[in-house]
Amino acid sequence: MDFINHQLFIKDINVHIDPILPKKTAIITHSHADHARFGHDHVIATRQTIDIMKIRYGDKCAKKFTPLRYGQKYSIKNYDFTLHPAGHILGSAQVLIEKNNHRLVITGDYKVGKDETCKNFKLVKCDTLITEATFGLPIFQHPDPKDEIQKLIRSVKINKNNCHIVGAYALGKAQRVMNLLRQQKYNETISLKDRWSRRFPNPIICMASGWMTVKQRAKQQGIELPLVISDHSDWNELLDTIKKSKAKNILITHGQEDALVYYCKKQNLVSKPLSIQGRSDEEIE
């Protein structure tokens, strides 16, 4: 497993996973801007991730694209790569790297909970797990998103003369909030706006984010109706995935690393933080 470094770079074959700067070969887990960048020579990703990158950055955002289906093997020398659903947003993938019978999984951003806007997370057993840790603290216990969306629907019913403005990240979260509303039989018109707008009559400001667990944060941002709807795993889901993966070696990337490292060590698992620079846990949620 020492074939990959703390920047998710495999020097032996000059392959990077989610590099921040333009590189020769980049495997991209998903199309959020802190993972998918412009200017690589060769991008390997799911078809949906490639399509979204082209929509956002233009058709020439990389010189060459290799789309992979989930489960389809792609080999470079004696390294075998496969992508598996991460359940984070449309097209999101975990990367399984197999080399000399060692299985290493990079989860990328992932969530275990069901989401109709993307393929659901698939647990992949491995020897080494590189996991994200955006919500890697025990205080983060995401509620059922259906209950959260019901709060919004109730407020809309009660406050008929107010316009509800729901802040949601444009890629992934916005589609999920709309899907959740429709699942709960909310059939009124939903308007999409580019950014916060307070020029509506009597707006009630709502926000759909895992960070809404932190009440102080919601208050500071002037959020009147916080909705805890996250596209990341919560604390228990992170622990559960670590356990079920059967990995003996756990590396923890962007997010709250300390508590997870402590938990893994108590379970006699080898664990350390990777501290990748340039990932924003704030915006991309």
Closest distance of CB 230 from Zn ion, Å: 11
Binding site for Zn ion (CB under 5 A): 32, 109, 284
Nearest to 242 by CA among 137, 120, 133, 93: 133
224 φ/ψ angles, rounded to the nearest 5 degrees: -85, -35
Looking at the Cβ atoms of 13 and 33, the one nearer to Zn ion is 33
Closest distance of CB 19 from Zn ion, Å: 15
Angle at 210 between CA 115 and CA 250, to 5 degrees: 85
Looking at the Cβ atoms of 108 and 226, the one nearer to Zn ion is 108
Nearest to 43 by CA among 68, 57, 64: 64
Alpha helices in the chain (DSSP H): 47-57, 145-158, 173-183, 215-220, 235-245, 258-266
Nearest to 113 by CA among 228, 17, 32, 29: 228
Closest distance of CB 93 from Zn ion, Å: 11
| Residue 282 neighbours by CB distance under 10 Å | 10
Contacts of 173 (CB under 8 A, 6+ apart): 208, 209, 229, 231, 285
Closest distance of CB 173 from Zn ion, Å: 10
Q: Write the single-letter amino acid at 19.
A: P
Looking at the Cβ atoms of 35 and 164, the one nearer to Zn ion is 35
Looking at the Cβ atoms of 247 and 284, the one nearer to Zn ion is 284
Closest distance of CB 274 from Zn ion, Å: 16
Looking at the Cβ atoms of 55 and 270, the one nearer to Zn ion is 55
Q: How many CA atoms lie within 13 A of 51 on its CB side?
A: 8
Looking at the Cβ atoms of 52 and 284, the one nearer to Zn ion is 284
Closest distance of CB 136 from Zn ion, Å: 15
Output the six-digit token pair for 162. 């107010």
